[in-house]
Structure 1
Amino acid sequence: MDSHGQYEQRVVWTVVGTDIGPLLLAATRDGLVNVVFHATDTARDRALARLRERLGSEPVEAPRSPLLTEAIRQVRAYFTGGRRAFDLPLDWSLISGFNREVLRELATGVPYGSVVGYGDLADRVGRPGGAQAVGMAMGANPLPVVVPCHRVVESDGGIGGFGGGVDTKRRLLALEGVLPEPLF
């Protein structure tokens, strides 16, 4: 979209099966714009309606688009342990301000296999005492897994909340070796 917002942003999407269930991946010409957990029919349709509303364009299913093909390849490699970091262009247009700042710091500053506290992340972006605001930013993350909000935990050792569900967060942290694999 140009700076005046005169042109629709073309959105392509696909769903990829993973160890944590189906993920919807959506992209614009600028990069991956949205990752949605539990993308069964109802959740997928809700996510596509939100994208249509936010980006002003009807999302088109296009699993063979070059960006989505590469995103699928990297997501699959991540879940099989063959990839520790994503190398994809990201479209940050669904998030702005403080939330975007926090998520960019998370994406670049908290590597695979490590965690950070909500308060520590707030300190990193110059907002001491902003743990609650960081929690809100994590909840607003349009690119979970790729921008690893599952790596943000409570300072007292608690796992914290997660938009994809606490069980999904545990499984992602176990995949990265931070937690033991859940027994069931």
Structure 2
Amino acid sequence: AKTEKGLCVVTLRQTLENFIQHLQQRFDLEITQNDQQLAPIVQQLNEYFKRRRKEFQIVIDWDCIVSSFDRKVLQKLVHVPFGQRISYQGLAQLVGKPKAARAVGNALGRNPMPIIIPCHRVVRKDGGIGGYSAGIEIKCKLLELESYQSTS
């Protein structure tokens, strides 16, 4: 979903009907469907899944993230490059709260734009996968997709 300022919500594993209902509950706005406005975003996501895109060129509406702490965490996270990982603790340090690894995990769980804001790149400091709002299986597949090395 997109506002006039930029992208505000990406959903995984949800029907269009449920997604629209979710948006109406979250934002007190009239929801209209405009596939043409979302086409460039969908194209970039398709390129990502085909391993043809490592970086998104998408404007994000940061105002959709109400909590200032969550916004700060997610704004730092967008700078973690494709194929790299960071620990929850490492991300907590980047936002100036080195003891807030659990709070960082909670902020990631509320990430309204998974993949675009790459919370799948955040892992436990011991190298374990950690959690993911769309499920561990999807997180593992995204990490695998990003670790693929082309021979060409």
- How far is 1:59 from its partner? 1.6
- The answer on 1:55 being equivalent to 2:55 is no
Q: Distance in 1 between matches of 2:35 and 2:39?
A: 6
Q: Which has the higher strand share?
A: 1
1:132 to 102, 120, 130: 102
Which is bigger in relative contact order (C-alpha 8 A, separation at least 6)? 2
| 2:123 pairs with one of 110, 131, 153 | 153
Task: Encode CA deviations 1:61-120: one digit per residue, 9 max, x unaligned.
Answer: 21112xx11101100110011100111111122313111000000002x10000000001
Instruction: Provide the residue aligned with 2:139 in structure 1.
Output: 169
Tell me how far apart the structure 2 counterparts of residues 122 and 47 of structure 1 sit (CA, whole Å).
30
Q: Is the 8 A contact 1:74 1:86 kept in 2?
A: yes
Which of 100, 106, 110 does residue 71 from structure 2 map onto?
A: 100
**Matched position secondary structure for 2:24:** helix
Q: Which amino acid aligns with 1:31?
A: G
Task: Tell me the amino acid that sits aligned with residue 5 of structure 2.
Answer: D
Residue-pair matches, total: 147
Within 5 Å, give how 1:65-84 maps onto structure 2: 65=37, 68-84=38-54
Out of 2, 5, 9, the residue aligned to residue 34 of structure 1 is: 9
Cα distance in structure 1, aligned partners of 2:17 and 2:97: 36
Amino-acid identity (%): 41
The Cα of 1:52 is off from its aligned counterpart by: 1.5
CA distance in 2 between counterparts of 1:124 and 1:161 reads: 20
Whole-angstrom CA distance in 2 between matches of 1:118 and 1:45: 33
Q: 2:43 corresponds to which letter in structure 1?
A: R
Q: How far has the Cα of 1:128 moved from its partner?
A: 1.0
1:117 and 2:82 matched: no
Secondary structure of 1:174's aligned partner: helix
Specify the SS of the correspondent of 2:90: helix
Give 5+ residue unaligned stretches, structure 2: none
TM-score in terms of structure 1 length = 0.76
Q: Provide the rounded CA distance (Å) in 2 between the counterparts of 1:79 and 1:132.
A: 29
Does residue 89 of the first structure (1) align with residue 59 of the second (2)? Answer: yes
Question: Match for 1:142 among 112, 116, 121?
Answer: 112
Pairwise CA RMSD of aligned residues?
Answer: 1.3
Q: Is the 8 A contact 1:54 1:94 kept in 2?
A: no
